[in-house]
Structure formats: structure tokens, C-alpha cells
Amino acid sequence: MERIQVNGQRAEASLSAGGELLWRIDGGVEQRLVIDSQVLGFAAEGKEIKIRSFVGDLEGPSCGRGDLERSVMKEFVLEMPTEMVAEIWSQRLQGCIDSLETEYQLHSQELAYKLDILMYDGIACISGDGVLVEVVNGLLQREDWETAIKVPLGIIPAGTGNGLAKSLMESVGEMYSIENASFAVIRGHKRSLDVTCVLQGEKRFFSILMLTWGLLADVDIESERYRWMGRARLDFYCFLRIMNLRKYYGNVKFVPAPGYEFHGEPKKEGTCCLGSIDNSEQGGDAVTEDSQKSYQGPTASFKDSDWRSFDGPFISISLVNVPWVVEDVMQAPEAKFSDGFLDLVLIKDCPKSALLSILMKTKNGTHVQSPYVIYLKVKAVKLVPGNRVGHPKKGGIVDVDGEVIARGEGTYVRNGGDLMAYGPPIQLTVDQGLATVFSLPGE
């Protein structure tokens, strides 16, 4: 036992090898924190260690797992006798918290691909949506993907967008906050989440949030040059893009969900099949035996489906899986986590004043009521992105969950090669409820 102070009161404390922090205030009862299930994190400075946690009633002899139903966030300040003792305790606390820190782009995808899944009950990402997307892609590239993708995933918002965390909180009527997102992971309640397979030839990418092309993709990616402005960069660059508005030629074909069959024009081309695709007809890289062992996408066939289409010019096209794409933009108000559909949000050519009104209304989802916005649910999509109106040699950006998968000529500076080519069709299909995420109980 170590003589320390806990929140300014003298106490005796110990940290067990099993990860339990126990202390007894002089003259009081023994109290306890279970590190792996109740501690959110800690910070050490000098002789003090500040521990953030979710705990239940501390008046009793224990605040263990059974108290999570009535848990609240609390901070405990442990003051050690010396800085050396504080450093030793910090190292022991860190050893009880199994965490990995990413060091470069796609690092979390590599970690998820190599992780010993059987050792974990879940994976929580303290990040924006991008890290979680990488984890999903890493899990689905494994040979044991059917087991790996069943591991529950948590998101504690710490990025620029945080759309999934916002959507999860709003869906159950809870305030969007780091504390509530952390509590969702600790509580362990789970819900299913659709995963979208984005396909071009043999190239695949798995999405959980949104594919966008046009205005929103341009703002998301090109505003990176103003990252020093923080989140304000998005509003600032959006204003610049409206003043110098780009419009794009292109085409989007889709299989409408029930109730949306009369949107668009009937497809005049031959039949189209998505899902179980004959690799010999797709071209691209040769398919290896190892790649075939990973997840190849949904097996649903749409060969005999009624395909519809819209032709450009467009200002923006988004295919959305959850209601909120960032914490203050409800892009798809009717989107559901596991309905097996994508929400297609298409902004047609319109005056700049109307576009400004549309974008302002995305904060509450009423933008979909604009006559310049087409909003419907779809089962499958084939997007053919074209070049800018008035600039036949300049293309656009196809952005999936914050990452560029394809870009045309004359766009923002490349950071290496993109996964897919700009111009050829990009296909999307949905695997209903493939992934599992932590969520607070609710609907």
C-alpha cells in the first residue's frame, strides 16, 4: 500500500496486477476502480496523476462493473509522495490500458489487419471517422474477415468530422459529447451498421459514412491547405467555392429502394449487374488467391433490377449511410444504420443564392425539401464522374469517408497515387448490418 492523497484527502492505495486501483480514505471504506472498464484515460504532471473515469455509487464498498447503469463521469486526482513514485504508477496504469497509437496514414488499417482478434472484446478509436474506416478496411482484408468484422467497434470523437459519433448519439436522443461516446463503449450495448463496397475493376474500398463528388468533396479535400484554421476551414473554403462555383458533367445510375421507383429516367443501356462480378470481365490487376480469401463485397445481384438514372450537370452528389456526416451537417435526415440502403442526395444546377440557402439548411436536414435537391434511397449505384462545365480538361474529386479514391486532371495536388481512376464507373453496393458498433441503448 502507498500513502498518497486522493482528491486532497489522505489515503492508502494500491494497484493490483489484475488492473484494480484500490484506496481507502483515512477512516473510510475501501473504494475501487476497474482500469479496463471504468477508466477513460489519465494524465501525469509532477507528483499528480489525474484519472478520468465513469463510475457508479462510490459510497459503497465497490464501484465495479455492476454499477454502469447509473454511472457518471468523475475525475480523481492522485497526489504521490514524489515525482518518481508518480512516474512508476503512471507506467503501471498504462500497462493496464491496452491501447495502440497510430503513427501514419493507413497505420490503423495495418494494425486491424494483423491484430489477434481473439484477445479483444472490442476496438475503440479515439479519432475522427477516418481511423474507424481504416479499421473496418483492415478487418475486411483478413482471411478470417467473417469473424473479425463481428468485433464491436467504438468511436470516441477526436477529429474534424465525427459524423458517426454524432449520428449514434442523436439516434438515441443523447447529447453529442466525448463523455457519452466513451460511456457507449463502456456500457457495451451494440447495434448493426451497413458497410458499402465501393468497387472499380478489382479495386475495392469499404465505406461506413459517405461517398461524395462535386462541391462537398472539393471543400473537404481542397480545404486541407487551410488546415491551420481548424474546422473553420470548411466554412471558409465552402464560401470560396460558392463564389467560384464549379459544376460537373456526369451520370449516376441506381436501383431505387421500394417507394422511390419513379425517380430519374429509365436506364436505356443493357442490363447491369453488381455484387457477384465476373472478375474476368472487370480487367485491372490479376486476382491473387490471397486476395480472394478476404471479403469481396456483397453477393447480391441486380441484373434483373429496374435501373434508373440522372444526367448532369450536377453541383454535388452524395451517397450517405448515416444521418450526420460531420457534427453540424445532417446530410441525410432519413438515413438508417442498417436498412440496407444508401441515401442519395443530389444537388442540381441552381443559382448561387439557392445553393447558399441549401447549405445553411444542412444543419437541420431541411435542405432536402429544396426543389433543387433530389433525395431518395437506393440499393445500388453506378457513378460516372465527368469533367467541369466550361473546363473540359479539368475533373473533380471522388471522396469516400474523407479519403480521395479518385481525382481528375487539374485538381488538388496529389499525395501519391489514388486507389481508383477518375472517369470510369465507380460502383456501390450495401452489405446490410455487416459491421457492429457500440451505441447507447435507445431505438
Question: Residue holding cell 459514412?
Answer: 209
Q: According to CATH, where is 3.40.50.10330 located in the chain? A: 107-193
Q: What is the pLDDT of residues 225-270, one digit of tens each?
A: 888 887 788 889 999 999 999 999 999 999 999 999 999 999 754 4
Kindly give the parts of the chain with pLDDT less than 50.
57-69, 269-288
Topology classification of domain 199-430:
Tumour Suppressor Smad4 (2.60.200)
Q: What does the alpha-carbon distance between residue 197 and residue 174 come to, in Å, rounded to a whole number?
A: 30
Strands of 128-276 (E only): list them. Answer: 153-157, 190-200, 203-207, 210-214, 248-256, 265-266
Q: What does the alpha-carbon distance between residue 113 and residue 415 come to, in Å, rounded to a whole number?
A: 23
Q: According to CATH, where is 2.30.29.30 located in the chain? A: 2-96
pLDDT at position 415: 58
Burial class (CB in 10 A: 0-12, 13-18, 19+), 202: middle
Half-sphere exposure of 407 (CA within 13 A, CB side): 19
CATH number corresponding to 2-96: 2.30.29.30
What's the whole-number average pLDDT of the chain?
85
pLDDT at position 99: 65
Choose the CATH number for 107-193 among 3.40.50.10330, 3.40.50.720, 3.30.70.330, 3.40.630.30: 3.40.50.10330
Query: Grid coordinates standing for 73?
Result: 463521469
pLDDT at position 380: 96
CB of 440 closer than 8 Å to CB of 174: yes
pLDDT at position 276: 39
Which residue of the set 129, 194, 401, 431 is catalytic?
129
- Taking each helix axis from N to C end, the angle separating 129-140 and 163-171, rounded to the nearest 10 degrees, works out to 90
pTM here? 0.78
pLDDT at position 330: 96
Q: What does the alpha-carbon distance between residue 440 and residue 443 come to, in Å, rounded to a whole number?
A: 9
CA-based nearest residue to 247, from 276, 213, 199: 213
Q: What does the alpha-carbon distance between residue 439 and residue 441 come to, in Å, rounded to a whole number?
A: 6
Reply yes or no on whether 218 is catalytic: no
Q: What is the pLDDT of residues 43-100, one digit of tens each?
A: 888 999 988 877 664 444 444 434 444 556 688 899 999 999 999 988 888 877 766 6
Q: According to CATH, where is 2.60.200.40 located in the chain? A: 199-430
Helix, coil or strand: residue 136: helix
pLDDT at position 282: 40
